[in-house]
Homo-oligomer: A and B are copies of this chain.
Amino acid sequence: MEIEFLGTGAGVPARSRNVTSIALKLLDERNEVWLFDCGEGTQQQILKTTIKPRKVNKIFITHLHGDHIFGLPGFLTSRSNQGGETRLDLYGPTGIKRYVQTSLAVTGTRLSYPIAYHEITEPGIVFEDDQFQVSQLKLDHRIDSYGYRIQEAAFTGELLVDKLKAEQVPSGPIYGKLKAGETVSLPDGRVLNGHDYIGESRPGRIVAIMGDTRKTDHTITLAQDADVLVHESTFSQHESKLARQYFHSTSTQAAQIAVAAHCRRLLLTHISARYLGRAARQLQEEAREVFPNTRVVNDFDIIKIPLPVAVKE
């Protein structure tokens, strides 16, 4: 599991930062890539990475500002031209379907794969299977903007069959009871505690990716105990009035959220073009005073999200 930042700028593209797009690479987990937002030029950014457009099978849109969606029609079209055949699921605010369908209709584009549209109508879970759950809540922006929490299912420990066989425990219904953690008496008088025969388990990983927003409690909910929180940092703490006025956050506010939500790591993105080089590092320093494990990311940064330490059951 990795996050690759395809665009880390705010509002308009700059030479140093393209507008927003974030790839959650789940290649080891399910050979898929999920995009969060798709600003103009995302497909050109992807050309500079190892990401294959046909592996992108889910796109989550945080909000409908142009710097987050104007790359969508081009990406969808090129995915078709480049052999994409599998269904693509598109999640986002109401209006995203109209935007994409109008863009495809006006250009006379027929895609080689179907799009399943999932427009958000109420807070809650937007996707769930055995492996991942994605939920969303509305944030505090000028227009409807959402944050997404991506939660991996816990890995439960396997029954240690080899150990049982080495101890000459005969197979049968006993194995199921041990796997369930029960204590079992054998015919030969031995008493076995199931917990001694179950391998390591570990919790699943949690990634929280926020849309543009002011500081809001909903972010704390979404980011609770997250391994990684991706939060906007459009302004410095010295511009908190501007941040409030334009419905954005400061670096310090993002860090406060990370503290309150007990996150492991904070990645700051959506950096205004006014903060170049040293000024962007200054944003990072501000946040680190509140939450030390903070990084201001740049285009093409890849952040690995390691498996949590295993927990013996």
Residues of A within 8 A of B (CB): 11-15, 18-19, 40-41, 43-44, 47-48, 64-67, 69-71, 73-74, 77-78, 81-82, 95-96, 98-99, 102-103, 106-109, 142-143
Chain B, residue nearest A93 (CB): B106
Residues of B within 8 A of A64 (CB): 106-108
Tell me the bound Cα distance from A97 to B78 in angstroms. Answer: 23
A13 contacts B44, C-beta separation under 8 Å: yes
In the bound complex, do residue B81 and residue A12 qualify as a contact, i.e. CB atoms below 8 Å apart?
yes
Contact of A66 among B41, B77, B143 (CB under 8 A): B77
- Nearest to A12 among chain B residues (CB) is B78
Q: Is the interface of A mostly helix, strand, loop or mixed?
A: loop
Could you show 9 A-B contacts with beta carbons less than 8 Å apart? A12-B78, A12-B81, A15-B47, A40-B43, A69-B106, A70-B73, A98-B102, A99-B102, A102-B102
Q: How far is the CA of A43 from the CA of B99 in the complex (A)?
A: 20
Question: Given the complex of chains A and B, what is the CA–CA distance between A270 and B14 in angstroms?
Answer: 26
Chain B residues near A69 (CB-CB < 8 A)? 106-107
Whether A74 contacts B70 by the Cβ 8 Å rule is yes
